[in-house]
Chains A and B, each alone.
Chain A
Amino acid sequence: DTEVTQTPKHLVMGMTNKKSLKCEQHMGHRAMYWYKQKAKKPPELMFVYSYEKLSINESVPSRFSPECPNSSLLNLHLHALQPEDSALYLCASSHILVNSGANVLTFGAGSRLTVL
């Protein structure tokens, strides 16, 4: 299995809703990532998990809450979002290498979120 699977593919939510995005991989990768991509823009790094612990938070607002319940799963919990949070949310995973420069990330197809 060489894939990263993201669900749902599309999500529409109101500003008062609570929803979650899910990401799963079975490649034995111990690093997992969340990226956000607005239309016509490059992906922006949000969070990085290493061995199920949060390693990097790129100053993301607290209305986005990541969770890594085990080595195969990564969730992004969404609460009180704003319309400007509408974007494609991408999950990725990689091995953890001593030489960090040689790491290769495998991305999922993304979850397209619309906030009304």
Chain B
Amino acid sequence: DAKTTQPNSMESNEEEPVHLPCNHSTISGTDYIHWYRQLPSQGPEYVIHGLTSNVNNRMASLAIAEDRKSSTLILHRATLRDAAVYYCILMPLRRGSTLGRLYFGRGTQLTVWP
């Protein structure tokens, strides 16, 4: 499966936008780009996913490069509650399999300062 590369850590101030980058240079044409986050002492939480076009939801925006070799998760106004580990994961379309297996990398630890 194709792998992703993320910075180990990032910092932001409260109420400022945060751009979390992810490189996936070996992505295949049928790989979806998923983002999950894990708050302290909790299980991972789905944030957003996309295939080719940019995506918006109530939590965040996902900007996907035209060549799909990188993507950026955008938190428009960071809050203290957004401090978490953010995982960028590729989920392939597998022939003969309808299961959503997620293989987590190390992710980016986001620190938000008041």
Q: Is A100 an interface residue (CB 8 A)?
A: yes
Q: Is A42 an interface residue (CB 8 A)?
A: yes
The complex places the Cα of A109 from the Cα of B30 at a distance, in Å, of 30
Q: Is A67 an interface residue (CB 8 A)?
A: no
Q: Closest Cβ of chain B: how far from A68's Cβ, in Å?
A: 14
- Chain B interface size band reads 20 to 34
Q: Closest Cβ of chain A: how far from B96's Cβ, in Å?
A: 9
* Given A42-B107, A101-B92, CB of A31 within 8 Å of CB of B43: no
B43 cross-chain contacts in A, Cβ below 8 A = 4, 90, 92, 107-110
A15 cross-chain contacts in B, Cβ below 8 A = none
How many Cβ-Cβ contacts under 8 Å join chain A to chain B?
82
A55 cross-chain contacts in B, Cβ below 8 A = 99
Interface membership of chain A positions 91-105, coded 1 if the CB is closer than 8 angstroms to chain B and 0 otherwise? 010101111111111
Listed by A's residue number, 7 A-B pairs whose Cβ atoms lie within 8 Å are: A50-B99, A92-B102, A100-B92, A101-B32, A102-B100, A104-B46, A110-B42
Interface of A toward B, CB cutoff 8 Å: 4, 31, 33, 42-45, 48, 50, 55-56, 90, 92, 94, 96-110
- Please provide the 8 A-B residue pairs with the shortest distance between their CB atoms, ordered closest to farther: A103-B100, A107-B43, A42-B104, A101-B32, A101-B93, A101-B91, A96-B98, A107-B44
Known: A42-B87, A105-B100, A105-B102. 4 other contacts (CB 8 A): A96-B99, A101-B31, A104-B46, A109-B42
